[in-house]
Chain A
Amino acid sequence: MLAALLRRLFSAVPVLAIVSLITFGLIHMIPGDPAVAIAGLSATPEQISNIRRDLGLDQPVLGQLWRWYANLAHGDLGRSLMMGQPVLDVTLKRLPVTLALASYALVLTLLLGLGSGIVAALKQNTWVDQAAMVLAMVGISLPNFYLGLLMIILFAVELRWLPTGGYVPLSQDPLGWLATSTMPAISLALLQAGLLARITRSTMLEVLRQDYIRTANAKGLPRRLVVLKHALANALIPIVTVIGIVISLLISGSVVTESLFSIPGIGQLLTQAVLNRDYPMVQGGLLVTTALLVLINIGVDTCYALLDPRVRHDG
């Protein structure tokens, strides 16, 4: 299993190299350049060309590509053109913010999605099942931006339970973090919880119809044991696949939520970087994010092996 894990880790290297090349190509292909963003709204062409020269943007693109890879080989992701700070430092400051938010949202997704999916499957064709699926559809259909605004009006303006926005780091004040992260996490989680609930329900229904479940029931095993040990354990493989995708979606979906709630995460950082054509920031930030997503996928694969002995032995 360790060998398989190492193989997967090594196979990530070409993936990252290709992603970095595509990122470099795409961001440089988009018209416009960072000098415009730095110069501001009413800049004169002279100011813009001064900045372009200062930043080396007047150099040939191939030269810039060579410099990017040469620096990358030394572990240097470059320096943000807009912020003047090393890309790696900025990314490593912002990533934990998004990861904390995504983790909170994942916990909510699992609680809501798995819980309602299992209950819906067990109570198939009852009002409970229908109510759970209607709620799942609402979660899937509501854009998280709109949901966020509705929550601000209800929970912040009307009820005054939560702040309208802002961010308190978890390490600084856990309760403050909880207060500032709850609405963003819910707005992120509802969509994914809806998806997970539907998939959990259908997978559970399939498993619950299997002969071994019928046998377990016939043996007189307690219902809870049948559901949690025999049914859920076997339904988990497709669910874990979906959870892997959900984690990726929670990280990428944070772009909108972070902007709405003024959370200084990686999503907001990369959006701004693209809009400002901050080449090193886009290239480096996406590389780190891609590496993270690759690791998550490897983690999901490892979970398969832990959950299913067949995968473990094949590996």
Chain B
Amino acid sequence: MNRAFLALLLLPCLASTADAKPFACPRAGGDFVFGQEANFNTLDQMSSATISTRNIAMNIYETLMTRDENNNPILELAEQMTEAPDHLTFTFKLRQGIAFHNGKKMTSADVVASFDRYVKIGNQRSILNNVAGWDAPDPATFVIRMKVAQPTFIESLSSFSVPIVVIPAENRDIPAQQMTSPIGTGPFQLVEAVPGSHVKLKRYDGYQPNTAYEEKTGFGGYKQACLNTVTFRIVTEAGARVAGLKTGELHAVEDLPTKSLPDLKKDPNIAILPLRNWWIQLSSPNTSTPPTNNLMFRRAVQAVLDMDEIMDAASDGNYSLNVGYQYPNQPSYTDAGKETYNIKDPALAKKLLAQSGYGGEPVILLTNKDYPPMYNSALVMQQQLQAVGINAQMKVVDWPTSVQMQSQPDTGWNFFFTGWGTQPALGALATMQFLADPNASYRPKNDKGDPELLAAWNDMNTLPDAKDRQAAFARMQKMALERVYTVPFGSFTKVQGARANVKGFVPFRIPRMSNVWFAN
């Protein structure tokens, strides 16, 4: 047995105590209505990376492995995982007695079919690049065989970005995004889905909770459906979400606007639930184009920025300052490169500008209004740059256009504004891929990334020891910040709210509907 295996076995044991009892619904029943801010297009989890799909779908589906409350990998549909000494085989023993929402018992043939579909249409199928194949030696065993040893494979496999959800084998050949009647093993099953309006789920009475735990944790743990039904209502207008929460039509909502909070806090029927570290707001330079191809110029930009001002405008006051690419509550967090962050020194910026030979050419800030935080952060950055004599100009397009322009370094932009949410939560490896070849976000000349940065990236992926991989991450972060390959501004807090009689609703990466109940 290796360490990874031991850790995966021990985690649930550590979560349990001798006299602890698994969660039992204090009260069952009720129709819970959640106000979701963004529309969903599909519930085909394998082929969608949108948060709006995941919010709903991950109450329906489950995976072999997932992440706990602190984003550590844990087992979900498997009860045991063994890694071979040569690191080329992973053997999963499946939990017994699990049935799909259609009543069919789950076996390893279903897991095989799920992997077969994912490798064909999965949005993030590259996580299986190093996998030679998979098979099912018996109905309770699933085996993954690797082409090469990949120390980070379990981290990738347990990713919730676009998870390999387990579906019945008969759904193997459904084309991407055409899974209109999703069937999973989760605590809730689909009743109806009307894009643009709502999704209704109901309690799955045949659900088998994971008895290795006593409580839900992250996407996994001991889950129970206490509610009869859950309705995700699409309410894109923030004012309508606030109104719905106030009247009680909506029992919980996401993304409450800051200006509504003082009023809502006075209401004894409403609880405000801040979800810290929701995403990292940042800007990426275009290092193929002048003047941002000049390191001294990029350092001048870095030197002038006041991150409090930027984040305050971007997040409507709901933020925390944060160095680098991980959230402070994560084990992989490092403040390496902190001396480059939030310098706000105009004099130093002017000095660096003079050294860079900047001649007043336009500096184009490429942003969009689809995501107001991106627009607002660009607006404040523009003012700060103009204050030291940089000819900063905004180019405002819609989100798909800005992404397309960013993918081509010669489309006339210098800084691209975006946010990284899910990837930082998944860990350093998922995040730093944005800075790796090909198509690194800082758009290196001829798409050839910084060799030293790539060496650190390679170490992050291949070093066998986790400590060494973490050191490589720290090195890569420091380098990326010092060479100004991105400018992270800080972390967002997403403010959710719930009616006071809603219990057990704990903010997480998705609105988890298991272990939630009405007090009265």
Contacts and interface: CB of A to CB of B under 8 A. Distances in A.
Interface of A: 30-34, 36-48, 50-51, 54, 79-85, 94, 149, 152-153, 156-157, 160, 163-167, 258-265, 268-269, 272, 275-277
Interface residues of B, number: 62
A264 B195 contact: yes
A109 to B, nearest CB: 24
A149 B241 CA distance: 11
A157 B161 CA distance: 37
Given A164-B249, A262-B233, A36 B404 contact: yes
B239 interface: yes
Contacts of A51: 123
B175 A264 contact: no
Contacts of B397: 31
Interface stretch (B416-424, B456-464, B510-518): B416-424
B65 to A, nearest CB: 20
Given A42-B421, A45-B438, A84 B240 contact: no
Interface string B104-133: 000000000000000001011110000000
Contacts of A30: 401
A54 B240 contact: no
B140 interface: no
A164 B244 contact: yes
B125 A50 contact: yes
Contacts of B178: 79, 84-85
Nearest to A273: B41
Interface string B221-242: 0000000000001111101100
Contacts of B249: 156, 163-166
Given A85-B180, A264-B195, A275 B398 contact: yes
B197 interface: yes
Contacts of A83: 41-42, 177, 195
Interface in B203-256: 233-237, 239-240, 243-244, 246-247, 249-250
Interface in B257-281: none
Given A31-B400, A50-B125, A265-B196, 10 more contacts: A31-B401, A40-B48, A44-B433, A50-B123, A83-B42, A85-B178, A149-B237, A157-B243, A262-B196, A262-B234
B196 A275 contact: no
B452 interface: no
Given A50-B123, A264-B194, A165 B235 contact: yes
23 contacts: A32-B399, A32-B404, A37-B400, A38-B50, A45-B407, A46-B126, A51-B123, A82-B41, A82-B177, A84-B44, A84-B177, A84-B179, A85-B180, A94-B196, A149-B237, A152-B240, A153-B243, A157-B246, A165-B233, A165-B249, A262-B233, A263-B196, A269-B196
Nearest to A30: B401
A118 B195 CA distance: 42
A36 B48 contact: no
Given A32-B400, A157-B246, A259 B237 contact: yes
Interface in B146-183: 161-162, 175-180
A152 B421 CA distance: 32
B370 interface: yes
B180 A262 contact: no
Contacts of A276: 41, 400
Contact of B247 (A47, A160, A268, A277): A160
A30 B401 CA distance: 8
Nearest to B231: A166
Interface in B27-76: 39, 41-42, 44, 47-51
Contacts of B123: 38-39, 43, 47, 50-51
B67 to A, nearest CB: 16
Given A44-B434, A84-B175, A262-B197, A36 B422 contact: no
A163 to B, nearest CB: 6
A200 B99 CA distance: 66
B12 to A, nearest CB: 30
Nearest to A274: B398
A42 B432 CA distance: 12
B439 A45 contact: yes
B156 to A, nearest CB: 13
Contacts of A38: 41, 47-50, 123, 177
A44 B439 contact: yes
B161 to A, nearest CB: 8
Question: Which 7 residue pairs spanning A and B have beta carbons closest together?
Answer: A32-B400, A84-B177, A40-B49, A45-B439, A264-B197, A82-B41, A84-B178
Contacts of B236: 259, 262
A84 B42 CA distance: 8
B405 interface: yes
B422 A42 contact: yes
A42 B419 CA distance: 7
B240 A41 contact: no
A195 B49 CA distance: 45
A157 B247 contact: yes
Given A38-B49, A42-B419, A47-B49, A277 B400 contact: yes
Contacts of A160: 247
